[in-house]
Amino acid sequence: MKLITILLLCSRLLPSLAQEEGAQELNCNDETVFQAVDTALKKYNAELESGNQFVLYRVTKGTKKDGAETLYSFKYQIKEGNCSVQSGLTWQDCDFKDAEEAATGECTTTLGKKENKFSVATQICNITPGKGPKKTEEDLCVGCFQPIPMDSSDLKPVLKHAVEHFNNNTKHTHLFALREVKSAHSQVVAGMNYKIIYSIVQTNCSKEDFPSLREDCVPLPYGDHGECTGHTHVDIHNTIAGFSQSCDLYPGDDLFELLPKNCRGCPREIPVDSPELKEALGHSIAQLNAQHNHIFYFKIDTVKKATSQVVAGVIYVIEFIARETNCSKQSKTELTADCETKHLGQSLNCNANVYMRPWENKVVPTVRCQALDMMISRPPGFSPFRLVRVQETKEGTTRLLNSCEYKGRLSKARAGPAPDHQAEASTVTS
């Protein structure tokens, strides 16, 4: 029980080992640990040409350093999974391969964070092959992925499918179009596999008005954009038989920055309490509540900034803070005046863009929000990790390190005598 007590007290990763100046350690319950490592591992898997994907085993070190851009650095251990790189599954869907044959690895990565998205700056993974049957160079290269020209006509139907799939399966208000193909590889199997990296961009066609993308939907210069990796299997009959893609969406540039001040038809700032804003705010919060997957309605708390611009209609650009109320979506069909903000509820910082054409009764609201970091204690069981103490023997000295072990896939191939019971606070009494 003593060990467990220590374990519960030390909730931080790797105490002060060669700590970088100003870097702050992250603990397993910090949700950025999983988000960042997930981003890094997905990138590593996406770049593998053949073989199996790797699955997260545990994170042994995580630090964060604030600056102009927040920098994160992690050390994490991975194990070979049982699903292939081409399977289109994400690593969370794979199980560990049998212990003996599985390759293992340790990755060191640094990431930046912008607009709430992580991007991998550097990553090095050292992989130790498993004891399985050795693969020869030839085995590995039969049916390797080969680069193909990015303007290849074979890619057209695949990319069309990819963009359609994206548009069918995202909640975004607008349709997206292909912007650019960044790389393309194909592999001859029974049929053909394609691996394509491409970017997409928001167009001026809203989903409400257009069931699918048309020729006259043009990319918005300030639109949201995404970076996608897609895997496609085209069978011998030339039909798309398997498809998966993952896209990272980035919010577009802010209208405020793009348009010059003091010009006719340019956005003009309006007082945040202007009655003129009332309708646009109503549309904004309705849109937010419709697209935000949350049990409770949000209401507008504070309007921080607003502009209007006369085009063929009026565009309102509004920045506001929305807060969670005590009205659940289950109990009410809409937000009403008697819904009060919750004392410890979630807050969102939102940017809305509301296009109104009153004579046609047309309103196109676009809202995007980011959670304001509030230190609300999270419900137990939130973290995908559990804290474990790991013995590390290096140059004859043994130390105990804290590490965050991924709880998702632990059915096979545990290294070492990890405890079988989850050593979590809720299950331990001493």
Ligand X SMILES: *[C@@H]1O[C@H](CO)[C@@H](O)[C@H](O)[C@H]1NC(C)=O
Instruction: Kindly state the number of chain residues that form the binding site for ligand X, as judged by CB under 6 A.
Output: 16
| Whole-number Å distance between alpha carbons of 74 and 110 | 6
Core vs surface per residue 131-161: b (16+ CB within 10 A) or e = eeeeeeeeeeeeeebeebeeeeeebeebbeb
Angle at 136 between CA 133 and CA 138, to 5 degrees: 140
Shorter beta-carbon distance to ligand X: residue 55 or 369: 55
| Whole-number Å distance between alpha carbons of 19 and 51 | 36
Shorter beta-carbon distance to ligand X: residue 276 or 340: 340
CB of 356 to ligand X, least distance (A): 14
Residue of 218, 295, 400, 425 interacting with ligand X (CB under 6 A): 218
Residue of 108, 123, 246, 326 interacting with ligand X (CB under 6 A): 326
Task: Rule CB under 6 A: say whether 216 interacts with ligand X.
Answer: yes
Angle at 248 between CA 187 and CA 319, to 5 degrees: 165
Shorter beta-carbon distance to ligand X: residue 25 or 80: 80
Task: Rule CB under 6 A: say whether 101 interacts with ligand X.
Answer: no
Residue of 100, 151, 257, 338 interacting with ligand X (CB under 6 A): 338
Strands (E) across 29-116 are located at 52-65, 70-84, 104-114
Strands (E) across 261-338 are located at 268-269, 296-311, 313-328
Shorter beta-carbon distance to ligand X: residue 72 or 176: 176
Task: Rule CB under 6 A: say whether 205 interacts with ligand X.
Answer: yes
DSSP code of residue 31: H
User: Count of alpha carbons within 13 Å of 157, Cβ hemisphere only?
Assistant: 9
Strand, coil or helix: what is 138? helix
Task: Rule CB under 6 A: say whether 161 interacts with ligand X.
Answer: yes
CB of 273 to ligand X, least distance (A): 23
Edge-to-edge order in the sheet of strand 313-328: 268-269, 296-311, 313-328, 347-357, 362-371
Q: Which stretch binds ligand X (CB under 6 A): 118-126, 136-144, 163-171, 248-256?
A: 163-171
Task: Rule CB under 6 A: say whether 244 interacts with ligand X.
Answer: no
Q: Which stretch binds ligand X (CB under 6 A): 10-18, 161-169, 280-288, 413-421?
A: 161-169
Strand, coil or helix: what is 355? strand
Residue of 83, 300, 318, 413 interacting with ligand X (CB under 6 A): 83
| Whole-number Å distance between alpha carbons of 54 and 89 | 11
Shorter beta-carbon distance to ligand X: residue 60 or 82: 82
Shorter beta-carbon distance to ligand X: residue 83 or 322: 83
CB of 354 to ligand X, least distance (A): 15
CB of 429 to ligand X, least distance (A): 33
User: Count of alpha carbons within 13 Å of 216, Cβ hemisphere only?
Assistant: 2
* H or E element that contains 140: helix 137-141
Residues 164-193 that bind ligand X (CB under 6 A): 164-165, 168
Q: Which stretch binds ligand X (CB under 6 A): 80-88, 111-119, 189-197, 253-261?
A: 80-88
- Residue ranges binding ligand X (CB under 6 A): 82-83, 87, 95, 161, 164-165, 168, 204-205, 216, 218, 326-327, 338, 340
